[in-house]
Amino acid sequence: MQLKIFLMQQKKLIQNLNKLKDKKFFFYIFIFFNSLIFTLYYGYRGIFPIDSFVIFNSGYNVLNNFHPFKDYWSITGPLLDYLQFALFLMFDVSWLSYVMHAAFINTILAIFIFYFFNKIKLNPNFSFIYAIAISILAYPSTGTPFVDHHAVIFCLVSTCCFIIGINQERKKYWFLSSLFIVFSFFSKQIPSAYLIFLLSISIIFYKIYFKEKHFIDLLFFILGGILGTSIFLIIFFLNDVPIKNFLIQYIFYPMSLGDNRLDKLNFDFKNTISQFKFIYFALMPLILVFFSMIKNKRNATEQKKDLFVIVFVLITPLIFIYGQLLTKNQVLIFFLIPFYLGIGNLYVTKYYKKKYLIFLIIFIFCISLTKYHIRFNHNKKFMELVNVDFNLAVNAKIIDDKFSNLKWITPEYPETPLQEINYLNEAKNILIKDKTPKILITDYQFLSVIIKNKNVSPNKWYDDLSVPPEESKFFEQYKDFYLSKIKSQKIKNIYTVGLDKEKYIKVVFDKNCYDLKKMNKILTKLSLKTC
């Protein structure tokens, strides 16, 4: 009789486990498609030229065997360039394969976050909700590959791996943590550089805190970093990218920019508190749990580990917010809110007796998700398209079939997008007719792709940060790099497309070394002379 009861219990347990497995499988499938669809939809809705086209063009550059740091000056990481190259290679050069880049990263993030929350034993239903929220808030804000998004996303994945490594004492997650932080660093220098420091210090402190004499975990962490770095060093070696160029363009010159920005950084209430208020709100439950644990002096090993994780998690927003302040971009780290709420949810359930905090978490979650989705996805604030009438948008197929179904509307011509396209088509036709070696200086960097121009511009993009000013100690190196590319490609004409782009020529060339001719409202031709 007892055997029969035991077997029935085991059967019921297996059935429940199968149900849970099926439920999680459904959640994974839903997260996958939700992440893809959201990103694809908003990736086709509106354009912000200076940010929307830069990786499109750099992926095309690599496709034509032009490489960052070697063939064009770049102060942002090469990871996105090579990822986009891979997608163009697999799926052809089109807006769809471009947006798919962002969609894939968004999907990987959302699926991993669901996996992470399940690993640390958060309720699967809550894990699902937080993963969905992150997929809505992460990449749909731009819909196209962007260095800042990649950098923060890989930082978040690295953070999650680190937490799992502590939670489950699995060395592979320490390895993955450093691998992903390297991917973040080769997307953009910050916030990854600061997180690398925090992770390294945290590992050492962890060993001291728990009196662990072996350092095998630290070794795995180091090996992950070595592997990640080696991948890029091998790419550089295979393509003859000078390490000196990499160091100047990606390390030393950006460090000078960072120092300058730090001197001018405004730490007032609006900058540091108001615009990040929902991140601070999301941390409140976790802070209350922290003080509760300190008050109750929890000493069990598991509880001490949880306390260590909580402290680590509470430090990370300082890095992300500081990195955000230095970029001076629109806020993009709001997708961290569901992550912090999820961590808070886990530890409130585990350690805090007053369960009303769960309702606080739900309230903050609903308000922040709604607010940021409307503001950054629907209204496209990140792309400077707030208050734009999207009904005025034009199908970008008019420019080229590669952009079919892209709803073209930009901050430059918010009321007359068709006029902007007409200017671009006129410029396109002029550029096609000019058979001489030429380069383009423009925010509309897709033009090089559609006119099949094989001469790469010396710069990845043109703005006041990417181009060192004359007073910069790196200006002469930039100028030499720029002129050497002009000479090696035997460039006869330089075209600027867009407003106020001629200044990036005048800073390099003496005014007697070129003739300037205005071709239309947005197109200027500079014919180079022998100087």
- Return the higher-pLDDT residue of 522 and 216: 522
Ranking 136-140, 210-214, 322-326 by mean pLDDT, the lowest is 210-214
Dump pLDDT digits (tens) for 32-84. Answer: 999 999 999 999 999 999 999 999 999 999 999 999 999 999 999 999 999 99
371: its two tokens: 């607010």
Q: Sheet containing 523-528: give its strands across.
A: 438-442, 493-497, 523-528, 514-518
What angle in degrees, to the nearest 10, is found between the helix axes of 95-119 and 2-43?
A: 150
What is the mean pLDDT of the segment spanning 329-341?
93
Three-state SS letters, 156-216: HHHHHHHHHHHHHCCHHHHHHHHHHHHHHHCCCCCCHHHHHHHHHHHHHHHHHHCCCCCCH
- Return the higher-pLDDT residue of 506 and 49: 49
The pLDDT score that the predictor gives to residue 21 is 64
What angle in degrees, to the nearest 10, is found between the helix axes of 124-137 and 356-372?
A: 20
> Would you say residue 9 has pLDDT above 70?
no
Work out the pLDDT band at 417, boundaries 50, 70, 90: very high
Quick one: which H or E segment has residue 525?
Answer: strand 523-528
> Would you say residue 14 has pLDDT above 70?
no
Work out the pLDDT band at 167, boundaries 50, 70, 90: confident
Work out the pLDDT band at 8, boundaries 50, 70, 90: low
The pLDDT score that the predictor gives to residue 272 is 79
Mean pLDDT of all residues belonging to the chain: 90
406: its two tokens: 């892209």
> Would you say residue 487 has pLDDT above 80?
yes
Q: What is the C-alpha to C-alpha distance for residues 377 and 446, in angstroms, rounded to an integer?
A: 23
- Return the higher-pLDDT residue of 503 and 380: 380
Between β-strands 438-442 and 493-497, what pairing exists: parallel, antiparallel or unpaired? parallel
Q: Which one, of 88, 65, 150, lies nearest residue 446 by Cα?
A: 88
Would you say how long the chain is, in residues?
531
The pLDDT score that the predictor gives to residue 7 is 42
- pTM, two decimal places: 0.93
- Return the higher-pLDDT residue of 490 and 261: 490
The pLDDT score that the predictor gives to residue 17 is 45
- When computed from its CA atoms, the radius of gyration of the chain, rounded to whole angstroms, is 26
Q: What is the C-alpha to C-alpha distance for residues 516 and 259, in angstroms, rounded to an integer?
A: 36
Would you call 473 exposed, middle or buried from its count of C-beta atoms within 10 A (0-12, 13-18, 19+)?
exposed
Work out the pLDDT band at 510, boundaries 50, 70, 90: confident
Taking the CB of residue 235, how many other CB atoms lie within 10 A of it? 17
> Would you say residue 174 has pLDDT above 70?
yes
Work out the pLDDT band at 209, boundaries 50, 70, 90: confident
What is the mean pLDDT of the segment spanning 446-472?
90
Beta bridge partners of 438: 493
> Would you say residue 121 has pLDDT above 80?
yes
359: its two tokens: 């309702």
Strands, DSSP E only, in 329-480?
394-395, 407-408, 438-442
C-alpha pair distances (Å), 111 with each of 134, 157, 172, 378:
10, 11, 19, 23
CA 207 to chain CA centroid, Å, is 32
Work out the pLDDT band at 246, boundaries 50, 70, 90: very high
User: What b-and-e string marks burial along 347-378, b requiring 16 or more CB atoms within 10 Å of the CB?
Assistant: bbbebbeeeebbebbeebbeebbeebbebbbe
Give the rounded percent of residues in the chain with a pLDDT score beyond 70: 93
Which residues make Cβ contacts (< 8 Å) with residue 333, sequence separation at least 6?
152, 276, 279, 320, 321, 324
Ranking 138-152, 205-219, 229-243 by mean pLDDT, the lowest is 205-219
The pLDDT score that the predictor gives to residue 264 is 63
The pLDDT score that the predictor gives to residue 380 is 94
> Would you say residue 6 has pLDDT above 50?
no
What is the mean pLDDT of the segment spanning 329-346?
94
Quick one: which H or E segment has residue 278?
Answer: helix 277-296
What is the mean pLDDT of the segment spanning 231-239?
97
Choose the most confident range, by mean pLDDT, from 69-73, 210-214, 349-353, 354-358. Answer: 69-73
Dump pLDDT digits (tens) for 94-115. Answer: 999 999 999 999 999 999 999 9
